Chain A
Amino acid sequence: MRPTTRRILAAATGLALLAAVPACADDAKQAAENVPGVTDTEIVIGTHQPLTGPAAPGYSKISAATKAYFEHVNSKGGVNGRKIVYKVMDDGYNPANTENVVRKLVLDDKVFALLGGLGTPTHTNVLEFVKTQKVPDLFVSSGSRNWNQPDKYPTTFGWQPDYTVEGKILATWVKQQFPGAKVCHFGQNDDFGRDSLAGVEKVLGPVAAKQTYTTTNQQVGPAIGALKAAGCQVVISASIPGFTALAMGQAAGQGFRAQWVVSNVGADYTTLSNQLGDKKVILEGMVADNYLPMVGDTANPWIQEFTKIHQKYNSANPIDGNAIYGYSMAYTFVQALLAAGKDPTREKLVEAVQKGGFRGPGLTPFRYSDDVHAGYSGVRLNKVQNGAQAYFGPTYTTDDGDAAVTEFTEAPATPPADAIPTT
C-alpha cells in the first residue's frame, strides 16, 4: 500500500470513529421545545392547495378566501392577541408534490397546525407523516372517509360532509324523483369516486353503469359515450369542477340527455359557467347539494358578512361557492383556536375540536366527538334555474354507515359581530 493511500485510510478511520460518537444529545432538548409555530404575537399554520394544475380552476380561490378571512381577524386584533399567519403551498393536485410541501411546512416552517389541506388523492399520502409528527391536521378539504379514523390518525379531522353521506342523500332524492329510472355513476378514479359510489349504492343498490376518469387525462369522451350507450337517465357525478364541465360538455356534444346530479365539490355554478363560457346553458337543470349558504342568496346574513370581507381583502377574485367555503372553514378554525384556550398547544387544539359544538354558517351540525372525526352531517339539494343556483326542499342528515337519511329542521345560526366568533 502506498503511503498516501495509507494516510487517507487512517484519516478516514479516525473520522469514522468520531462520527460513531453520536451528537444526538440535543435531540431530547429539541423535543421538549416550545409549541411549534406559536409565539406571543403569532400563530403560523400551513396548507397545501392546487394553485396550478387540473384542480386549480375553482379550488385555487379557496385559500385566497381563507387568507382574506384571517387578514380580517388580524385587523381586529387576532385570536387572543395573536395574529394568524397562513402559509399556502402549491401542490398542483399532484400527490407527490403534496408530500414535499407538507414536509417543508412541518419540518422547515414549523407550522402549529395544518388547515384545509385540499384533495383526496393528495392528502391521503401525507396522513402517516402527519401522524408521526403529531401535527393537528384540521378540516381537510375533501369528503373522504379517510379523515374520520381517530384510532389510526388521531390528529386528522374532516370538515365537509363525507362523500358517502352525500352519495346517500343524493341517491335518496333520485330514488324519490326518478323511481325505476336507470341511474349511473361517474366518478374520480380514487377514494373520492369510490366513497361516493359506496353511498349511492347503499341506497339504490348496484347502479346501471359506472365510469371513472383520472385527473391527468382530459379525455372523458369514451366514458361519457359508455354511459350514453348504457341508456342512463340519471348520472350521479363525483367529479372536481374541471371534470364536471368536461363531462357535461361531452354529454351535450354527444346528444346524451340525462339528469345530472353532481357532488357539491364539483358543482359550483360560478366556477362551472366560467369553465364552459358561452356553453354554460347546458348547466340548466343540474341538481347538486351543498351545506353552506348559497352565494346568490344575498339576503343571508352570512353571505352579507362574507361579502364585506371579500370586497375589502379579496376583491381580485370572484365571490363564488369556493370563496364561501374558504370563509366558512376559516371561521370554524378560529372557533377551534379560541376553544383551545389562551395558551394553545397541539394537544389542546385537537381536544377542542373533538369536543365540538361549533355552530357557524353551515346548515347542519358537525359530527365531531372523541370517536368521530367527520365534519358536517348533511346537505340540502339545489338546482340551476335561469342561470342561478338555489336551494329547494328540506335539509337532510345521515352518517357514512347504515343510519337512515332524515330531515333536519333546526334553523341555521346567525353570525356574530364582524363574523368573528367570540367563544
Chain B
Amino acid sequence: MTATRPSARSGVDRPAGPSPLRRLLPGAPAAAGPRGSTLLRHLAGAVLAGTLVVLLTNQLAPYQNLQVARVCAFLCVTAGYTVLVGLNGQLSLGHGALMATGAYTVALVQRAFDERGVQGRWILPLSLLAAVAATALAGLVIGLAAARLRGPYLAGVTLAVATLVPAISTIFTGVFNGEQGLRFPAETPPAFLGAYFQPERWLAWIALLAALLTVLLLANLVRSRFGRSLRAVRDDEVAARLAGIHVARTQVLAFVVSAGCAGLGGGVYAVLTATVAPGKFPLELSLFLLMAIVIGGLGSLAGAVWGAVLLVALQDLPSLLTETFSLPSGLAQRLEGNLALAVFGLILIVVMLAAPGGLHGAVRTLAARLRARRRAH
C-alpha cells in the first residue's frame, strides 16, 4: 500500500508540467484535439442546450418549470459526483451532506444581508459563490482523509458525514433552527421582465445557468490533462504514479471539484424554495444520488443528466401513482413513504442486468447498433 499513500518523495510524484487545473483555461494546447477547440465545441453545445431549455420554459406551466429547475439543481450535483465516482473511482456516500453545506451557506449569507436590510441582485450570485467556496473547503477536508482511505473505508467515513447533518442542525439550534430550518427572502424575477413574468420560470433560468456552467467546466475538465490523470489514477494507481501523476493530489482535487459542484447544486436547490431544513438532506438523498448516477451511466456527463431527471421524476411518482389509482388508504399511506426507494432499487437492478453502462450506455449501444445496421444495408 505504500505506493498509494501520499508521500513526501517529491522526486517521484511531482507532476511534470503546469498545474492540471490550468487546462481549464481556453486555448490550452493539450485540449486541442483532432476536432477543433474542445472549449468552443462545448461552449456551442452549452448555448444550444441552454437555448432549447429556455424556449421550453416559455411553454411550460409553473409547476413544470419548477421541475426543470429541480433537474438543473440536481444536475450540478450529479455531474460533479459522477466525475468523482466514475472517473476517479472514489466512492462518496456523503454528497447529500455536501449539498446541505451549500444550501445552509446560501441561507446564512442571505439572512445575514436581510437582517442588515441590504438588498440587491448581487446577493444571490454572491451567496452561491460562498456556497461553492464553503463546500469546496469541506470537500478539501474530506478529500484529505479520502486520499488515505480506500473503498469501503472511504464509503464509511463519507456515510458518517451524511448522517451528521440532522444532528448538527439540531445541536446548534440557535444557528440552524433545528428541524424547522431557515427561511430567507425568496428570489423574484427582475422588474424588466414584466409584472406577469412567472417566478418559477425565473428560478428555472437561474438553475439552468448554474447547471450549464457546471457541465461546461466539467466537460472541459474531463477532457483536459487533469481528466486523463483522474482516469489513470482510477485504473491503476501504481501505473499513474510511474507516469508522473501525483496520485493523492489528483484525488484530493477531484474531491474538491466534486464538492464544489454539490455545494452549488445544494445552494440552487435551497434558492428554489427560499428555505433550508435538514429534512431536505436525509441519508436517503446521498444514496439516491449514487443510485441516480449509476443508473444514468457512471462517469459520463450525459449519464448525470439522466440521473438528475430520474431524481426529480421519482419525487413526484408516489403521489402520482396513489392519485391515478384510487388505492385503499392504508396501502396508499405505506406506498407514499417507501415507493420512491423501492422503484429506485428496482430500476437499479433492471438497469444493471440489462445495461451495465447505465441508461446513457444503453442509448449509445442502441445508436451504434442502428448505425451499423444502416451501413450493412
Query: Which residues 20-69 in B have Cβ within 8 Å of A in the complex?
Result: 35-37, 40-41, 44-45, 47-48, 50-52, 54-55, 58-59, 61-63, 66
Alpha-carbon separation in the docked complex, A22 to B51 (Å): 12
Number of interface residues of B (CB under 8 A): 55
The verdict on A214 contacting chain B, using a C-beta distance below 8 Å, is yes
B196 and A95 form a contact (CB under 8 A): no
A74 sits at the interface (CB 8 A): no
Contact with A along B190-228 (1 / 0, CB 8 A): 000110111111000000000000000000000000000
Does B196 contact A30, Cβ atoms closer than 8 Å?
A: yes
Q: Are B36 and A2 closer than 8 Å at their CB atoms? A: yes
B173: Cβ under 8 A from any A Cβ: yes
Known: A125-B180, A189-B179. A104 touches B48 (CB 8 A): no
Do the beta carbons of A24 and B196 come within 8 Å of each other?
Answer: yes
Interface pair A15/B179, CB less than 8 Å apart: no
Closest to B194 in A: A24
Which residues of B from 136 to 195 have beta carbons under 8 Å from A? 166, 170, 173, 177-181, 183, 186, 193-194
- Residues of A within 8 Å of B177, CB to CB, are 190
Q: With an 8 A cutoff between CB atoms, is B18 at the interface?
A: no
Distance, CA A64 to CA B200, complexed state (A): 32
A129 near B198 with CB under 8 A, answer no
Q: Establish whether residues A27 and B63, one from each chain, have CB atoms under 8 Å apart when the complex forms.
A: no
Is the beta-carbon distance between A60 and B179 smaller than 8 angstroms?
Answer: no
Q: Hey, which chain A residues are within 8 Å of B52, CB to CB?
A: 15
Chain B residues whose C-beta falls within 8 Å of the C-beta of A300 in the assembled complex = none
State in angstroms the CA–CA spacing of A15 and B315 once bound together.
32
Known: A8-B48, A15-B55, A128-B186. A89 touches B275 (CB 8 A): no
If the complex has contacts A19-B54, A90-B336, A132-B186, are A189 and B173 also in contact, measured as CB distance less than 8 A? yes
Type the 1/0 row for A1-24, where 1 means its CB is closer than 8 Å to any CB of B: 110110011011101101100111
Residues in B neighbouring A94, C-beta threshold 8 A: 277, 279
Residues of chain B contacted by A11 (CB below 8 angstroms):
48
CB distance A100 to B315 under 8 Å?
yes
Select from chain B the residue with minimum beta-carbon distance to A11.
B48
Q: Could you tell me the distance in whole angstroms from the C-beta of B251 to the nearest C-beta in chain A?
A: 32
Residue of A nearest to B330 (CB): A316
In the complex, chain A residues whose CB is within 8 Å of the CB of B178: 121, 189-190, 214
- Closest approach, in angstroms, between the C-beta of B284 and any C-beta of chain A? 11
Name the one of B36, B183, B333, B337 contacting A125, with C-beta atoms under 8 angstroms: B183
A contact residues around B333 at 8 Å (CB): 51-52, 56, 60, 90
Task: Tell me if A107 and B37 are in contact (CB < 8 A).
Answer: no
Shortest distance between the CB of A145 and any CB in chain B (Å): 14
A97 at interface, CB cutoff 8 A = yes
Q: Do A216 and B179 have beta carbons less than 8 Å apart? A: yes
Whole-angstrom distance from the CB of A220 to the nearest CB of chain B?
13
Contacts of B179 in A (CB 8 A): 95, 121, 189-190, 214-216
Q: Which A56-107 residues have a C-beta within 8 angstroms of B?
A: 56, 60, 64, 89-90, 92, 94-97, 99-101, 103-104, 107
Cα separation A94 to B275 with both chains bound (whole Å) = 13
Are B55's CB and A125's CB within 8 A?
no
Please tell me if A386 contacts chain B, counting CB pairs below 8 Å: no
Q: State the CA gap A108–B280 with chains docked (Å).
A: 21
- A270 vs B54: C-alpha distance when bound (angstroms): 54
**Chain B residues within an 8 Å CB radius of A30:** 196
Shortest beta-carbon distance from A260 to chain B in Å? 24
The answer, yes or no, to whether A217 is at the interface (CB within 8 Å) is yes
B201 CB to closest chain A CB (Å) equals: 8
A191 touches B (CB below 8 Å): yes
B273 nearest in chain A by CB position: A99
User: What is the CA–CA distance of A97 and B280 in the complex, to the nearest angstrom?
Assistant: 7
Q: List 25 A-B contacts (CB under 8 A).
A: A2-B35, A5-B35, A5-B36, A5-B41, A11-B48, A13-B47, A16-B50, A23-B58, A24-B201, A27-B198, A53-B337, A90-B333, A92-B337, A96-B181, A104-B316, A104-B319, A121-B277, A125-B275, A128-B186, A129-B274, A132-B199, A189-B173, A215-B179, A216-B170, A216-B279
Given A104-B63, A121-B179, A189-B179, 12 extra CB contacts under 8 A: A5-B37, A8-B45, A12-B51, A24-B58, A24-B198, A96-B277, A103-B66, A107-B63, A107-B66, A125-B275, A132-B199, A216-B170
Smallest CB-CB A-B distances: 5 pairs: A96-B280, A27-B196, A108-B63, A107-B63, A94-B279
